[in-house]
Structure 1
Amino acid sequence: MRERWLLAAAMMTAVAAADAPRDWSATLRRDAQAFHDQVAEDHPGPYNRLDPAFARRNDAGLALAMRRAERVRDYPGYLWAMRGYVAGFDDGHVALDVQKPAPVALEWPGFLTGYDGAGRQVVRTVADGVALPIGAVLEACDGVSADRLSARNVGAFRGRWQLSSQRATQGGRLFVDARNPFIARPTRCNFRIESKRQDVTLAWRPLSDAEFDTRFAATAPRARPAIGPRVLADGTRWYAMSSFNGDPEGAAAKALRPMIAAMTRDRAEVVAAPRIVLDLRGNGGGSSEWSQQIARVIWGRAAVDRAQVSSEAVEWRASAGNLATLQGYKTAWEASPDGSPEAIAWAGKIADGIAGARARGEPLWRDASDAVEPSRVNEPAVTPPPAGVFVLTDWGCGSACLDAVDLWTALGAVQVGQDTSADTLYMDVREKMLPSGIAQAVIPMKVYRGRKRGANEPAVPRYRYTGDMRDDAALARWVATL
């Protein structure tokens, strides 16, 4: 009888614990500390002699989160404190990947703004009954200029606000109240409508998740063409690559593989085209192996290797977690019937290098093989394409998409379209779940040495397109004039 009573008491205690409200302040403290410790353990920054303030930034971010924990009572407080911590790195590859979001009751004043090509915040979408025209220019709210307001209320929790691409991507959040307890939402704003000024007292109202998706998308429209080739009427070969996702079983891989195979098979016709367009609209990154494969087809392996010599080296953080991640890549790619031999060899090489550094007690492993073996550099080059090769970019191009732009332009391609996003020299991320199970910490594993493009420096097109990047026909006509 006593045993049954103890069992019942234990079950009641477990149920009570499950039903008890979460201590969000304690949750934030645990997750922020875990995030800090993973950065310290797996990120190359703490040992990067060229970034001596890195560890202090990590410590300062943790200290800010811990101070904010005193005010955190709910999920939104937790979320925004963590986002503020992550934003302090000013690095798109250091991220908080929320896996189990809790509902957040959104509100808006019946309109959203976004950044235009001139860097102004203009009204992009308006609800019925709101007396603001599309295109009205935001000047200030509550005595705070539009630029300062967006930097304070959005940039401080998203990071990299100095980049036009980041402002274009995230600027539409300025008039979305997502219950951030660390900012004050605007109450009265003034707009410029042609030559007139209009003052607006904001009437905040509920914004459903479904309407948010539609309205927010309108603040920064972006084309995402389906991956694949097409031949234009004038013979131009146009290759859309809206993703470089590295999952060998993913949708991007299943579309990219046959496209690259066809490029390889028909190379003579491809390079004889009047122009080749490598369309990266919608591409946010993934695996750089895709762009290298395409470059080998168009310019030849020897030319690609010579172009990559310009990168002095890469240094990997030699942590146990990073080693396991690279070994996992190799195993997964070996198990895939379509796994790239180059990718498998790359993962094996990096894993072996990290293992060797760990055995020697070294925090970083320097991979100088990106400078390429001399024997490969001396391979005869294939005939380069006589036609112009154009790389079409938009403001969302980042990570492996930026690697593609760097490589292809080094080989002679001309960048056209819009400024890209930008990245730091820290790359190749791994994820680890935080103690709460709410989100994963996303942390880079390597740092570039000798990269020509600097940290958080976008790639700027030689020919800038100011029209609607979603208009395929207009883009094709414009490219034909270059």
Structure 2
Amino acid sequence: MSAIPKSSAHLRGVLFFSALALSSLVSARSTDTNSDQAYKALPNSPAAWSAAARNDIKIAYQETYDNHPGVYDAQNPNFRKNLQRAKERGLALAAKVTNAAGYKAAIERFNVSLQDGHAGAYTNLTETDLPPLRWPGFITVWRGDSLYVYASEAGGPESGAKVLSCDGVKTRDLVMKNLFAFRGIASEPGAWWVLPRAIFYDVGNPFITRPKRCQFAHERRTFSKTLQWQLTNDNFNKWRNESYNGDELAVGMTEPRPRLFWVAMPSFQPNEKERDAYRTLTADIEAQRQRYLDSDAIVIDLRHNQGGSSTWSKQFARALWGNDRVNRRLQAFAQKQEVWWRSSKANTAYLADMVETLKQEKQVEAAAEFGKVQVGMQQALARGDTYYMNTKDASDETTLTPEEAKRDLANDPPAFNKPVYVIVPGQCASACLDALDVFTRFDNTKLIGAPSSADSTYMEVRQKKLPSGLATVIIPNKMYVNRPRGAGVFYMPAIPVTDINWSTATFLKVIESDLASKKPR
């Protein structure tokens, strides 16, 4: 899908939407044509806000039921039950809504109750519609299994201080109550590396109790502080951005020191400039492959990446390891996998729009692939079939086992066997996870950083703004059947990086240390 709008109001929803719907093959480029207009007017009374929440949750439920592939998924018999539960829980909260912040919380309760990072809804409320964002003068980050202070204004807890509890409630329990009750999936370790810091963002949610006094531990001493909630300032914005994934590098390759190459992939939803940078990167690998074969290591930096199109990671992998090597291993990895598209009228129209967009972007291969899918969906719709089953071409089929697929063939280019470090952030989902599926087919790949997020088997999402304009529903179009990485499965790092500062310098130090440990003494 296209990137969720990063307005201030949305960002205070915590910059992470439980791996919210990012397409596994190509990012969705548009919303439905009838959803371009913003809401005409906000509800003007507590009763009107409650009515809007109830109505929008009912419509979001129906849009999901009518179009989501999970509704008829035999491998997920609980989907309908979860969808019904989401509606009931959302409506229960909607009955108590009196303002914009309550409306937002009710939509979030509907969304989180689905426990599906590729479905749900989000609000379109702006910063001026909601209560002013407040904070206690410090920013926290989750590292390993605890919450730590990242940075603090004068008089606040020191950087590095561990948050033990607030108002007698242990930190983990507070996170469950105030955060995961409204967004994220608590069973995914990656979500813990991203969301918990938001217990110290006051977004005006009327259904939680804001912490008042917290206990900290630092340098063998414990202490308590009464929180001084206040309007946010420049420090809040600066520290929040820095603490998320560290510094963000532009798409492309740098060489921090001779023979160590750093490949930044902060987004798989690239704009035109970034698409050109990816193409240049791949062309450089292909043209100067010997240079990289002689390297000490290659670092693939996925910090800030929240998915998009898996095209970019596959193209890079094929250039680095060899086209046929990558294809054989992926075919063996996913030889039983099938892709089924929910052939509803709205989903089919969306695919037609996507194909035209891909043509305009000159993504010829992707446009051809999705053009075939669109025709198949149209035919399935005409027949009254629930799904269009995208069968594999004969050239894509293989009977090789994963071990057999690892064997080099005579026509393969020289093998790339130098260490590959992949920096994984906690929000890595969808096409970012697809990239890990590809990179980890090779034994010289080592994951470092945080546990990844996880996916359901539902992908290729579109957005549809609800008639009120106050919220947008997220609808995946396809599902994987027999995907080797099952629903809810995540990647764990071989080297966890629990430093509070996730800067490039920090990761460079970790990587250099690991490389040094392998050198003969």
1:290 aligns with 2:312: yes
Contact 2:269 2:307 in 1 (8 A): yes
Given the alignment of the two structures, is residue 276 of structure 1 paired with residue 298 of structure 2, yes or no?
Answer: yes
User: Alignment partner for residue 424 of structure 2, among 393, 396, 400?
Assistant: 393
Q: Which has the larger radius of gyration?
A: 1
Q: Report the CA distance between 1:476 and its aligned residue.
A: 5.2
SS of structure 1 residue aligned to 2:181: helix
Q: Is the 8 A contact 1:76 1:104 kept in 2?
A: yes
> Do the aligned partners of 2:137 and 2:236 also contact (CA within 8 Å) in 1?
no
Write the distance in 2 (CA, Å) between the matches of 1:34 and 1:146. 36
Matched, 1:474 2:509: yes
Q: Distance in 1 between matches of 2:484 and 2:61?
A: 30
Distance 1:453 1:18 in 2: 44
Bigger Cα displacement from structure 2, 433-442 vs 384-393: 384-393
1:43: which partner in 2?
68
Taking the aligned partners of 1:85 and 1:463, their CA distance within structure 2 comes to 36
Q: Within 1, Cα distance between the matches of 2:484 and 2:444?
A: 16
Map 1:200-239 → 2, pairs under 5 A: 200-208=225-233, 210-217=234-241, 219-239=243-263
Q: Which moved more, 1:180-189 or 1:58-67?
A: 180-189
| Inter-CA distance 141–374: structure 2 relative to 1 (3 Å threshold) | closer
Q: Does 1:32 align with 2:57?
A: yes
Matched letter for residue 253 of structure 2: P
1:149 aligns to 2:181 (yes or no): no
* C-alpha separation in 2, matches of 1:356 and 1:376: 30
Match of 2:85 among 26, 35, 60: 60
Name 1:135's counterpart in structure 2: 160
Q: Deviations over 1:314-353 (max 9, x none)?
A: 22211222212221121112223xx232211211122122
User: Which residue of structure 1 lines up, in the alignment, with residue 21 of structure 2?
Assistant: none
> 1: CA distance between counterparts of 2:384 and 2:371?
20
Moved more, 215-224 or 153-162: 215-224
Aligned residue in 1 for 2:267: 243
- Please report how far the alpha carbon of residue 238 of structure 1 lies from its aligned counterpart in structure 2 after TM superposition: 2.9
Cα 1:342–1:475 change in 2 (3 A) is: farther
Q: Which of residues 107, 116, 135 is equivalent to 1:108?
A: 135
The answer on 1:422 being equivalent to 2:454 is yes
Give the 3 Å change call, closer, same or farther, for CA 256–48 of structure 1 in structure 2.
same
How far the C-alpha of 1:104 sits from its partner, in A, is 2.3
2:64–2:475 Cα contact (<8 Å) kept: yes
Partner of 2:202: 177
- The residue identity in structure 2 corresponding to 1:126 is S
Aligned-pair CA distance for 1:447:
1.8
Following the alignment from structure 2 to structure 1, what is the Cα–Cα distance between the partners of residues 419 and 148? Answer: 37
**CA distance in structure 2 between the aligned counterparts of 1:235 and 1:50, rounded to whole angstroms:** 47
1:442-471: per-residue Cα shift (whole Å, max 9, x none)?
A: 222222222332322221233444444313
Please list the CA deviations of residues 272-313 of structure 1 after superposition, one character each: whole Å capped at 9, or x if unmatched.
434333222222211011112112222333323322322211
The structural deviation recorded for 1:125 is 2.8
Q: Deviations over 1:72-128 (max 9, x none)?
A: 1111111111011111222332253444422422233333433223x1122233232
Higher mean C-alpha displacement, 379-388 vs 34-43: 379-388
- CA deviations on 1:118-163 (whole Å, 9 max, x unpaired) are x112223323233x32333222223322111111101111121222
- The answer to whether the 8 A contact 1:40-1:46 is kept is yes
3-state SS, counterpart of residue 114 of structure 1: strand
| 1:420 aligned partner, one-letter code | S
TM-score between both structures, scaled by the size of structure 2: 0.80
Aligned-partner residue type, residue 304 of structure 1: V
The SS at the match of 1:156 is coil
C-alpha distance after superposition, 1:165-201 (max 9, x if no partner): 2122111111222111111222333333444432333
Does 281-290 or 360-369 show the bigger shift? 360-369
Corresponding residue of 1:166? 191
After superposing the two structures, state which structure 1 stretch, 275-284 or 211-220, moved more: 211-220
Deviation at 1:231, TM superposition (A): 3.6
Q: Secondary structure at 2:182's aligned position in 1?
A: helix
Report the RMSD for the aligned CA atoms in angstroms. Answer: 2.8
Paired with 2:301 and 2:150, the residues of 1 have a C-alpha distance of 26
- Alpha-carbon distance in structure 2 between the residues aligned to 1:357 and 1:18: 40
Secondary structure, aligned partner of 2:180: helix
State the match for 2:146 in structure 1: 120
Structure with greater contact order relative to length (CA < 8 Å, sep ≥ 6)? 2
- 1:19/1:422 CA distance change after superposition, 3 Å: closer
Letter in 2 for 1:404: A
The answer (yes or no) to whether the contact 1:114–1:168 under 8 Å persists in 2 is yes
The answer to whether the aligner puts 1:258 opposite 2:286 as a matched pair is no
Does the C-alpha gap of structure 1 residues 212 and 362 become closer, same or farther in structure 2, counting only changes over 3 Å?
farther
- Cα distance in structure 2, aligned partners of 1:398 and 1:222: 18
**Is the Cα contact below 8 Å between 2:149 and 2:160 reproduced in 1?**
yes
Aligned-partner residue type, residue 167 of structure 2: D
**Counterpart position of 1:367:** 390
Match of 2:491 in 1: 459
State the secondary structure of the residue aligned to 1:73.
coil
Q: CA, structure 1 residues 325+70, in 2 after alignment: closer, same or farther (shift >3 Å)?
A: same
Task: Give the one of 79, 100, 119 matched to 2:104.
Answer: 79
Deviation larger for 376-385 or 386-395: 376-385
Is 78-87 or 270-279 further displaced after alignment? 270-279
**Cα distance in 2, alignment partners of residues 422 and 326 from structure 1:** 25
Change in Cα spacing, 1:62 to 1:287, as seen in structure 2 (3 Å) is: same
One-letter identity of the residue aligned with 1:239:
V
CA contact (8 A) 1:414 1:462 kept: no
Q: Distance in 1 between matches of 2:399 and 2:251?
A: 31
Unaligned runs of 5+ in 1: 1-16
- TM-score if structure 1 supplies the norm length? 0.86
Q: How many residues align?
A: 459
Q: d(CA) in 2 for partners of 1:474 and 1:370? A: 45
Quick one: structure 1 residues 202 and 308, their matched pair in 2 at CA, closer, same or farther if it must change by over 3 Å?
same
Higher mean displacement: 175-184 or 366-375: 366-375
Q: Is the 8 A contact 2:303 2:423 kept in 1?
A: yes
What is the CA-CA distance between 1:408 and the residue it aligns to? 1.7
Aligned-partner Cα distance in 1 for 2:230–2:143: 25
Question: Deviation string for 1:410-448 (max 9, x for gaps)?
Answer: 144413312222222222211111122133222222222
**Alpha-carbon separation, structure 1, partners of 2:393 and 2:170:** 47
CA contact (8 A) 1:389 1:412 kept: no
Ranges in structure 2 where 5+ consecutive residues have no aligned partner:
1-39
Contact between 1:316 and 1:446, CA under 8 Å: does it hold in 2?
yes
